[in-house]
Chain A
Amino acid sequence: QKEVEQNSGPLSVPEGAIASLNCTYSDRGSQSFFWYRQYSGKSPELIMSIYSNGDKEDGRFTAQLNKASQYVSLLIRDSQPSDSATYLCAVKPPNYGGSQGNLIFGKGTKLSVKP
């Protein structure tokens, strides 16, 4: 059973601080990794995708990937109250023959940014 694990939180940080969200995955051959943000009552929205080891930065967001440790993280700098949401980690396992793989989500970490 392929698994993606996240701390459920809630994670509470003060406005302006760095929020650090973590995710581990079980399938070592996974190649594609994604972070989504989901506001209450809304659909998930893609924030970042990362495919190779190291850091990838986009504005206030930085995704970090360590395939050897099977670990993906998302850093949010200068956190704002509008960042309060549930953050979902998603992993695409290897494309095995036949089914060509799927997209598996963690249960999400709820982030609360306090003014």
Chain B
Amino acid sequence: DAGITQSPRHKVTETGTPVTLRCHQTENHRYMYWYRQDPGHGLRLIHYSYGVKDTDKGEVSDGYSVSRSKTEDFLLTLESATSSQTSVYFCACGGINTEAFFGQGTRLTVV
């Protein structure tokens, strides 16, 4: 979806460093999601937001925090990156009961 932009697209970081991934949308979607995708596990929900400053945990939230101070931006922070957080991260946006659209993904490698 052209209205959803993730940054950075690729990142290599060292164990123990903080990392922030950004999702920016221009479609005014209420819901925003962060997923990680790993072989054998599919897409797993990390956190999601249902409005400005309204967030909730997903299936694999440990080690991650999020913030949404504006409708258009949803940030995912790894406070202290670990090798187990090496993954492809996807942001998605959508409505309350409607479909979600995905950003291009961020490939994160923790060394």
Interface residues, chain A, with chain B CB atoms under 8 Å away: 31-32, 34, 42-46, 49, 51, 88, 90, 92, 95, 98-108
Contacts and interface: CB of A to CB of B under 8 A. Distances in A.
Contact of A46 (B50, B90, B99): B99
13 contacts: A31-B97, A43-B90, A44-B43, A44-B90, A92-B97, A98-B56, A100-B96, A102-B33, A102-B58, A103-B45, A103-B100, A105-B44, A108-B43
Given A99-B50, A102-B48, A107 B41 contact: yes
A95 B97 CA distance: 9
Contacts of A92: 97
Contacts of B21: none
Given A49-B99, A102-B58, A103-B100, A43 B105 contact: yes
Contacts of A100: 50, 56, 96
The 8 lowest CB-CB distance pairs between A and B, nearest first, are A107-B42, A105-B43, A99-B56, A43-B102, A100-B50, A32-B97, A49-B99, A44-B102
Interface residues of B, number: 27
Chain A interface, >50% SS class = loop
Among A31, A42, A105, residue most surrounded by chain B Cβ atoms (within 10 Å): A105
A87 to B, nearest CB: 11
Given A102-B33, A102-B56, 18 more contacts: A44-B92, A44-B102, A46-B99, A46-B101, A88-B42, A95-B96, A95-B97, A99-B56, A100-B50, A102-B45, A102-B48, A103-B48, A103-B94, A104-B45, A104-B59, A105-B35, A105-B44, A107-B42
Contacts of B102: 43-45
A2 to B, nearest CB: 9
Contacts of B33: 102-103
A103 B101 CA distance: 11
Given A88-B43, A103-B48, A108-B42, A43 B104 contact: yes
Nearest to B40: A107
A92 B99 CA distance: 9
Contact of A103 (B92, B104, B105): B92
B101 A49 contact: no
